[in-house]
Chains A and B, each alone.
Chain A
Amino acid sequence: MTARAPVIASVARPLIRPLYLAYLGFILAVLYFPFVVMTILSFQGPRGGHTFPLRGVSTIWYWKLFNPGKLTPYSDVGEFLGDYLASLQRSVVLAVITMLISTALALMAAQAFRRGFKGSGLVFYLWLLGIIVPGITVSLGLSLWFRRMDLPLHWLTTGLPVHVMWTLPFSLIIFLMFFNRFDTSLEDAALILGATRWKTFRHVTLPLMQPAILTSLLFAFTLSLDEFQRSLLITGTDQTLPLMVMASVTTRITPTLYALGTLTTLLSFAVVGAYLALLTYSLRKSRRLVEGSSNPRGSR
């Protein structure tokens, strides 16, 4: 580089930091400002619409959310009267079952992948297909097949396989990433001291894996809670929350949707908050475990 470059750099340097920070602020604003607007509009007055201006302030849209199907003096013909809370309940049940199955199956498979086995590359890419294959394709293919087989469509029985199929690869990747940075010295010590593989796994590996397990649970839960592309055509009449949201968006948008969005966003924040609290706790515990074994190499 020429001699001029450092000169330019020294002139520009004091500006670079504030510029970067301003840019970060801009990105955060893009990510969060719409939420703020949505929350404000969820308190829209009873005669107001889904955009500004605010025509008064009310909690009627929240009331409608909790009292589905009940008409008010303000109800009009095209109003979407679906029971969002029932579908939220279905979605949460489905997400909890999905996260447990997904984490358990991926945890098992990750042990095999760590050790390596014949054809592990091929099997890994097979799992990856769950993410890669477009959701609408899965939905279409399965719905046609279920109908051909005369299987009744139901959010739990036909929905669960698809939800787990979608979250499994994520869980596996989380565990593989964890083992990429994993120090095996504690496991080796246990094996050398005569512990069986099972005992080593149960008493050494599994406690150390707690952060990864929590992460997998979080990913599987939230991915399932939000899944709509794969379950679009296969949940039958009782829809999950995202599908009901989709249906109402394509018919008519009311501030009820914003009330729902505000509540579910708060729910998501609560879930992430709980995850972070548990994660800090488990990280501290596993660090104590490592230090307690007086590992000369210290942490990690």
Chain B
Amino acid sequence: MRQTHTPPAKAPALEVSTTLVVRRGVAFLERHPGVASLLLVLPGTIWMMLFVGIPLASIVLFSFWRSGFAGLVPDYNVENYAALLGGRTFWRITFWTYEVVIIALAGVIVLAYPAAYAIWRVVRDDRWKTAVLLLCVVPFWTSYLTRTITWLPMFGREGVVNRVLLALGVIGEPLEILLYTPYSMMWGLWSLYIVFMIGPLYHSMTKIDEDVMSAAAMLGATPLRTFFHVVLPLTRPGLMAGSLFVMVLGLGEFFTERVIGGAQNPMLAGLILRQIDIFQWASASAIAVTLTVLTLVTVSAMLRLFDLRKV
């Protein structure tokens, strides 16, 4: 950007009066912190209301319209929903979506917990702790798409895994289930989402008082007992925060399914995309409405169990 315009000529009188106004305004806000709060929270809130509100309102509206050749036609009807909820495909895909998300979540918890625990209790040096934790979370800041694509040369027919297994003589023929199957999709999701779980889990582990741990040990609790009665309950906030992430991301997932899942078993978000591809905007909107409702219900059920602001 280049500054081309010259700065406006100075107007001393005006300047004095603006400073006065600003000073009076600041003084007013100092006396009325409630008004100050309102003014502080308003800009961001308006931004969120507009750009969350408009898309939600428009999918609700357009889900009652009809998709024509040239675009959406304001011809109100409930056929989009009737076709959707009446057909078996929608229900099959909805159940499949939840199946995928729940297995993904369970797997992520099982994979991430020992890792976070190991960083917390097993790695001794503080500097090593920070280093390992960082290594675990850094992928979060790299590209989601790239991380998905990197599995292609790993798992393909000619991929690294197949070649290693063939060379070792474990298998006689290259495995076909390694890529473009629900299994490869699940592996992709786990490796993508584990980052979201290790961070929050470790965060809540570090909040556990060392005295509590030694008290449990002194009172004769076995490591297993300490884990289930002390560590697990105290790390629940981190567990829930991570789970929330995984649920929300999983329900909206379409890229992994398309690229390494073989595009044969779409989830709800993938179904929306396929409807858009064939210009069925009205029915895409109807699916989007149901997906949003399902997501909101799932998340509010989870938020009932804990307060995200206290993590």
Contacts and interface: CB of A to CB of B under 8 A. Distances in A.
B104 interface: no
Contacts of A168: 44, 47-48
Interface string A107-137: 0110111010100100110111111111111
B288 A136 contact: yes
The 6 tightest CB contacts between A and B, nearest first, are: A141-B55, A34-B150, A134-B252, A105-B44, A112-B37, A261-B146
Given A17-B122, A242-B143, A111 B40 contact: yes
Interface string A24-36: 1001101111110
B136 A27 contact: yes
A245 B152 CA distance: 15
Contacts of A265: 142-143, 146
B181 to A, nearest CB: 17
Contacts of A162: 51
Nearest to A135: B252
Interface stretch (B10-18, B75-83, B86-94, B110-118): B110-118
B200 to A, nearest CB: 10
Contacts of B115: 23-24, 27
A153 interface: no
Contacts of B139: 31-32
Interface stretch (A70-78, A170-178, A205-213, A281-289): A170-178
A89 interface: no
A161 B43 CA distance: 13
Given A52-B160, A105-B47, A108-B43, A142 B55 contact: yes
B44 A145 contact: no
Interface in A249-277: 249-250, 253, 257-258, 260-261, 264-265, 268-269, 271-272, 276
Contact of A51 (B29, B119, B156): B156
A203 interface: no
Interface of B: 26, 29-30, 33-34, 36-38, 40-41, 43-45, 47-52, 54-59, 62, 71-72, 111, 114-115, 117-119, 122-123, 132, 134-136, 138-147, 149-154, 156, 158-160, 163, 191, 194-195, 222-225, 248, 251-252, 254-255, 258-259, 269, 272-273, 276, 281, 284-285, 288, 291-292, 295-296, 299, 308-311
B294 to A, nearest CB: 9
Contacts of B147: 34
Contacts of A53: 158
Contacts of A57: none
Given A27-B115, A117-B37, A129-B48, A141 B54 contact: yes
Contact of B30 (A108, A132, A197): A197
A109 B49 contact: no
16 contacts: A28-B136, A32-B135, A34-B151, A34-B154, A41-B153, A115-B37, A117-B38, A133-B52, A134-B288, A135-B269, A137-B59, A145-B55, A165-B47, A229-B252, A246-B255, A268-B138
B288 A141 contact: yes
A134 B133 CA distance: 29
A217 interface: no
**Most chain B CB within a 10 A radius of its CB, from A20, A162, A242:** A20
B44 A106 contact: yes
Contacts of B299: 132
Main secondary structure of the interface of B (DSSP, over half): helix
Interface of A: 1, 5-6, 9, 16-17, 20-21, 23-24, 27-28, 30-35, 37-38, 41, 50-53, 105-106, 108-109, 111-113, 115, 117, 120, 123-124, 126-142, 144-145, 147-148, 161-162, 164-165, 168-169, 172-173, 176-177, 180, 196-198, 218, 222, 225-226, 228-229, 233, 242, 245-246, 249-250, 253, 257-258, 260-261, 264-265, 268-269, 271-272, 276
B308 A128 contact: yes
B55 A140 contact: yes
B206 to A, nearest CB: 11
Contact of B284 (A115, A140, A261): A140
Contacts of A253: 149, 152
Given A50-B152, A177-B311, A226-B143, 6 more contacts: A131-B248, A136-B273, A137-B55, A228-B145, A242-B144, A261-B143
Contacts of B292: 133-134, 137
Contacts of A113: 41
B52 A130 contact: yes
A161 B49 CA distance: 11
